[in-house]
Amino acid sequence: MANPKSRSQPTINDVAAKAGVSKKTVSRVINRSPLLAEATREKVENAIRTLGFVPNPQARALALRRNFLIVLLHDNPNAQTVLNFQTGVLNAIKESDLALVVRPVQRNSNDILHDVRTFLEKQRPLAAMLLPPISERDDLAELCKELGVRYVRIGSAILDGIDNCVASNDQEVVRKACATLIERGHKTIGFVRGPKGFRSALERETGFLAAIADAGINFDKKLAAEGNYRFESGVTAGTKLLSQQPRPTAIFASNDEMAAGVLHAARSKGIAVPEQLSIIGFDDSPTASHIWPPLSTVRWPITEMGELAARKLVPEFLPERDDAELPTILESTFIDRMSVADVPLDN
C-alpha cells in the first residue's frame, strides 16, 4: 500500500480538470476575481475542497511577475499614526497571502526618488501605500505608475483620483470642533500649527481660521505658535501662548501629542484645565484618553483609512464585501471629553 505522504499534492491543473474549466478560470477564483458567474465559482471551489488543493503563493507570484507584498512608504514624525495605519492594513489582509512591508524614507533627501525606485524594482511589490507627507508628492505617484505598481495616496484632502486616494475631512471637522469652543463663550483662542510643508497642517489651520472668521472674531497672529506634531513642540508652543496678554482661554493643537504638551505647559504655570483653559487636540490617539483630564479631540479614522486603502489596492485578494463602491473620504468626528469647559467668568 502506498504511503499517503508520498502522493503528490494536487495542482491547479487537477482542479481545472475536475471542475471542467480552464486553468485561467481557477486562477480567477483563487484571486477572488469578481468577473465570474457564481455557478462557475462554486464548481471550482467544490473541486478545490474535494481535492484538498492549497494555492502556492510563490507560483502565483511568479505568474504575476510580482511578489505578494504591499509596501507602506512613510516619513511621518508621529509613530502612533504609522502604527494605527498598519493595523488597518493588517486587518484587511489577514486572511490573504499578502504581506505588509514598512519602508521609512527621508522626505528631504535629494535621493528619495532614486531610493524608492531601487527598492520597488528590487522587491517587485503588488502595491504601494504612501502616507503623509510623502503622499503629497506627485513624482512618487508617477514613479509607481511608471513601474506598474498599484498605489494609494493617504491624505487630509483628496490628492488623486478616487481609485488612488483615501482622504479625511480635516478642514471641515476642525472648523466644527473650534465652533464648539466659540459656542461655549471662548473668543481668545490660541492655535498650535503642524509642521510646515504638511497638507494636514494646512487643512487644519484653514479649518481653524474659518471657524474664527465665521464668528466674526479678529484673530491676533500672536495667538498662533509653531509645532511639529511632537510633544516637546507642544510644550514650547503652549508656554508661548500662555504668556500672551490677554491669555487665551482655549487652545486648539493640531494633534494630540502637541495638545498634551500644551496641557503640560499649563500645569507648569498653575493654570487649571479645563477651569481656566480649554484644550482640543486631533487624532484621538491613546495619549488623548490616558492624560488627565481626558482630552477632547478629533478622532482621525487612520486605522479605517489603512483598511480602506488595502481594499482599494488589492480587492481580488481579499474577502468580498457588500460595499457597492468604496469611498474616497472617511469622515473624522469630534470627541468631547473633559478638557473643554465654558469660558471662565472673569474673562
Domain count, the chain: 3
The pLDDT, as a whole number, for residue 324 is 58
Maximal CA-CA distance, the chain: 94
**Is 141 within a domain?**
yes
Q: Is 18 within the bounds of a domain? A: yes
Q: Are residues 205 and 237 in the same domain?
A: yes
Q: Are residues 281 and 180 in the same domain?
A: yes
Look at residue 292 and tell me if it is in a domain: yes
Could you tell me if residue 149 is left (phi over 0), alpha (psi between -120 and 50 degrees) or otherwise beta?
Answer: beta
Query: Does residue 93 sit in the same domain as residue 103?
Result: yes
Which residue in 3, 6, 152 sits closest to 72, CA to CA?
152
Residues 175 and 270 in one domain: yes
User: In terms of domains, do 159 and 249 share one?
Assistant: no
164, 180: one domain: no
Q: Are residues 140 and 220 in the same domain?
A: no
On whether both 162 and 175 belong to a single domain, the answer is no
Are 95 and 178 part of one and the same domain?
Answer: no
For residue 346, tell me if it sits in a domain.
no
Asked whether residue 164 falls in the same domain as residue 311, the answer is yes
Same domain? For 267 and 249 the reply is: yes
CATH at residue 71: 3.40.50.2300
∠ CA 243-268-219, rounded to 5°? 30
Q: Residues 266-270: contacts with CB within 8 Å, 24+ apart?
A: 266/238, 266/242, 268/239, 269/239, 269/242
Q: What are phi and psi of 333, to 5 degrees?
A: -135, 150
How wide is the angle at C-alpha 107 spanned by C-alphas 330 and 160, nearest 5°? 35
Pairing verdict, β 165-168 and 250-253: unpaired
Residue 267: Cβ-neighbour burial (10 angstroms; 0-12, 13-18, 19+): middle
Cis peptide leading into residue 246 (ω within 30°): yes
Question: Are residues 293 and 176 both part of a single domain?
Answer: yes
Question: What local confidence, expressed as pLDDT, does residue 2 receive?
Answer: 42
Using CA atoms, how far residue 266 sits from 58, 240, 273, in Å, is: 57, 11, 8
Q: What is the pTM of this model?
A: 0.79
Q: What are the mean pLDDT values of the chain's consecutive 10-residue runs (347 residues total)?
A: 54 87 80 76 88 65 64 87 94 89 93 95 93 94 95 96 95 97 97 94 98 96 96 98 96 97 98 97 94 97 96 82 78 96 81
- Tell me the residue range of the domain where 47 lies: 9-55
Strand 278-283 and strand 189-192: the pairing is: unpaired
What's the rounded Cα separation, in Å, for the pair 243 and 62?
63
* Residue 345 covered by a domain: no
286 is a domain residue: yes
% helix, strand, coil for the chain, step of 5: 45, 15, 40
pLDDT for 3 equals 45
142 in a structural domain: yes
Query: 335 lies in a domain?
Result: no
